[in-house]
Amino acid sequence: MAKSKTVYRCTECGAEYSKWQGRCETCGEWNSLVEEVAAPKVAAKGAGSARRMGGSASLGEGGSVAVAPRLRDVSGSERERWTTGLDEFDFVLGGGIVPGSMVLVGGEPGIGKSTLLLQIAARLQQTGRNTLYVSGEESPLQVKLRADRLDEPAGDVALLSETLLETMIATGTASAPDLMIVDSIQTVFTQDLEGAPGNVGQVRECAARLMRFAKETGTATFVVGHVTKGGGIAGPKTLEHIVDTVLYFEGESTLDHRVLRATKNRFGSVDEIGVFRMTQGGLLAVENPSELFMGDRHDAASGSAVTALLEGTRPVLVEIQALAAKAGYGTPQRVATGYDGRRLALLLAVLDKRAGLNFSQLDVFLNVVGGMRLQEPAGDLAVAAALASSLYDRALPREAVFLGEVGLGGEIRPVSQTERRLAEAAKMGMTVAYVAERGVPKRPPAGIRAVGVRTVRDLFERVFS
């Protein structure tokens, strides 16, 4: 079988070359040429007559006229989703697995990606859906040993240990599974490219063909992707643009819970999270994430404040811990876990200038409990309250939640969807909420009292007076 012709294309400007070279002559970038399969060029009808007449080829030459219907004439309905029984997983996907979709699951090694997908395959197999698990990293015995540890019986799941893309697609076409799992895309290669598995050209070409296979056959395809040191999925960035959904599996190896986050979803909302607990028998869905992140809170310790994050459409209560201690070296430390270090420096400057709290001779440590990441500005007020609590060494009220963005002038700005956040706080037993004065809801949820504050100085006078 003759191999397809290959070309080398620049990932920066798209320039094409017949052989590899270190530097792109068009844009000047180094090491930006990757190997790709060159599509065969078919001579268009009428090209000879166009040249005989001395005219140039037309813009549409080589193609055929397609019918473009009006949107109102397009018929059909949305296909029914497949539910897996893992409520958190179905919630992140937007209600379940969409037939014919392609999902990319990324995460650090050992976080539980293979375990989660094997559980999904086992659950769908029990409901009568045929599943095919393709393992390119582990032997069949290794996959079986993992399956034997799961609570779900996975004995009926079809297993293929293969790394050649053509064999995967041929097997999938012949067996026609409802779900195919490829673990992982970095081990898959195609014979049409000479590069080693895992390089940019192989990953992009294999992902594109798997996507075409999913759309043409209606097979839902899940692909596992490794992550780099920076936390992004390894391979070209176009890999995330090819697929329909991108899921990141996050969590600390020392903790028993994991967070599944959707960063792209063509069939649902993004930034949704699902929380799981890692057990010996597999991953279990956590129905109330707020209770998980708030369960071990100590009411007598200073430097602890609670805020309500909005992860997609779900409000989650998290604890912010701050510690201000005498600096042991000439330059004080600023250490933040789960929080932007530059944002922490900004808040420390605001507290110094607007509230008279001096941290210049103190080491400051900030931690978002449970491995969560505090990205939205709604948690600024909780961070400021925790820092002041540690500096004064006075505990904040246990039943208080803090919501608000802190401006450079020390003012407290309102945040979005305050009512939903307060409803989650009330459900977790909170009785008072400190929010921006302009953001006090007219009808707060039952069981919680909303207190409006204008500046951080006003907040500290109310709390520590």
> 63 among the known binding-site residues?
no
> 114 among the known binding-site residues?
yes
Q: Cis ω on the peptide bond leading into residue 175 (within 30° of 0)? A: no
Q: How far is CA 201 from CA 189, 196, 213, 236, in A?
A: 10, 9, 18, 8
> 109 among the known binding-site residues?
yes
> 108 among the known binding-site residues?
yes
> 113 among the known binding-site residues?
yes
Structure tokens at 129: 């859906």
> 370 among the known binding-site residues?
no
> 448 among the known binding-site residues?
no
> 107 among the known binding-site residues?
yes
List residues forming the annotated binding site for ATP.
Answer: 107-114
List residues forming the annotated binding site.
Answer: 107-114
